Each structure stands twice: as C-alpha cells, then as structure tokens.
Amino acid sequence: MNQTEITKIVNEVLQELNKTKASNENKEGVPLKKTDSAADIIDFTEQAEMAVDEPKNKDTIQHAQKITPARIGIGRSGTRMKTKSYLQFRIDHAAAQDAVLKDVEPDMIKELNLPVLQTKAEDMETYLMDLEAGRTLNDESIRWLKENGEKGKQIQIIICDGLSSTAVESNTRDLLPAIVQGLSLKGITYAKPLFVKRSRVWVQDHVAKIVDSDIVISLIGERPGLATAESLSAYMVYRPGEHTVEADRTVISNIHKGGLSPVEAGAHLADLLEQMLQYKASGVQLVKHRNKK
C-alpha cells in the first residue's frame, strides 16, 4: 500500500467520524456547526513540516528537518503528539510491519524473469527465529541451481527479500538493469540473476559455492525503520569460503529514492565490482588495496 492510498483511507475514516459526531449532536438537539470539509482533511506528505507552536529558533529546526528524516519539530499538544504526527507514526509503523511480513509481488519477479530459489526457511516464523535457515538453500533449490545455474561467470547477482519486500519492489526494477548495463559496458561476464526467497546475506556464500563465480552480489531488503521501509543494501563478496567473515564483505546501503538512488547505485556498484575483480578482494582487503594507490 503506497502513501497516497494510506492517506486516502485515513481521510475517509476521519470524514466518517465527523459525520457520526455531527449526527449524534443533531439527535441531541445541538445545532450543527458549518464546517469546511476540506479543512477537516489531514494531508500526509513526506515533506517535513514545522509543527512547533511559537518556536524559539525556527531556522535551526527547519535546517535539521532538511538533513534528516527523523521526527524533528513535530510539536505537541499538552504531553502528547499532535494528531497528525501520531497518525503518521502509526502509518509508518504499519508500513514497516508490512515490509517484513509480506512477500515480494510475484508479478515483479515474473516481469524481471527471475528464477525463484528458496532457503530452508519454509515459513516467515522460521525465517525470523532461525538465522541459519535463511543462509542455506533448500534441497530442491540446490538441485535446480546445480542443473540450471550458469557456472563460472565473473559475477552472480541474487535478489533477496531479506527483511523488506517493499525495498525490493521499490528499487529492483531500476537497480538491476543499471548494474547489468554497467557490467556489460565493462566487458564483465555475469550469470542470469536469481531471486532467493526468505534469504539472509550469507546465502550468497552457498550460491557462490554452487555456481563457482568470482563474486556474488546480494541485493537485499534492509530492516525497515520508521523513516522508510524502502531501503535496500548491496552485499558483495569475492570468492567466499568456510573462513569468510563479515569483514570480507563490501556493502553499499541506503539505496532508495530518498538516499542513494537506484540508478546511481547501479553505476557505482558496477565500478566496485570491477575493482574487486582487479584486486581479487572485497571488504577490508579491498580497502587496503585501494589505499595503496
């Protein structure tokens, strides 16, 4: 559900409440007040608004609002949030929950022609409670990848739902083509991208072992927050093995329309992948090689 749809629902609820209140007052013989219906509608926008009554330093608050999505300058009514701020909080919280619990739309996966693999996390409860289950493909997916996966390519791209299906849906359509185009222009070989359901970052190690690629890059939904549920991360690792640790991975995060745009991120990731192939390293080791230049 997007912001426009949520706003419409909230406004409809508020209008119904106003109608009910007016009806009850009329039954009790209380004269109805003339109200401007447009004034009763609360408009929810992504643009931060000044809601502090008589602020002592308005410019400072407005400057802070421009550089962070945090809830700054929302004001209060007595000891509580104002109604608009409270409803926006509830909307953002609901969006975060939806991002975690709902699946990526099958239409998008079909549109991008992505083969679908599955980890050992057969349901969402298992995925959330058992980290290891999301790090390994199930037996059926292992068989499929061994039989049908493209082997020996320099790059294997996998799209992972992770903790935010919303992030995958919001960014992949622009991000994936940008990466593929960048790799093609650089003459880097890549295997057909894959989608891995209920997966965590380390599933890339399992995939790399099967397809024998130099690098696996995982485009994975980040844990959603109240600022956005659309943030995606890209984790890259060069020739992972049983001794691979987090420091061996390179990560670019905060990919979304309000952060690093998907198209820009795609071009940047293609450059990073080229450097990893050049230095045969990722993570901390890649940084060390780059700093020697």
Task: Detail the residues annotated as belonging to a binding site for adenosylcob(III)alamin.
Answer: 201, 222
Token pair of 20, please? 């009910």
User: Which stretches within the chain are classed as H helix?
Assistant: 3-27, 37-40, 58-67, 83-101, 106-111, 124-129, 139-148, 165-185, 203-211, 262-279, 283-291
In whole angstroms, how large is the CA radius of gyration of the chain? Answer: 24
User: Which residues, other chains included, contact 253 with Cβ-Cβ below 8 Å and sequence gap of 6+?
Assistant: 222, 231, 233, 234
**Cβ–Cβ under 8 Å, residues 203 and 137:** yes
**Cβ–Cβ under 8 Å, residues 198 and 256:** no
Annotated binding site: 201, 222
Q: How many residues does the chain have?
A: 293
DSSP letter assigned to residue 255: E
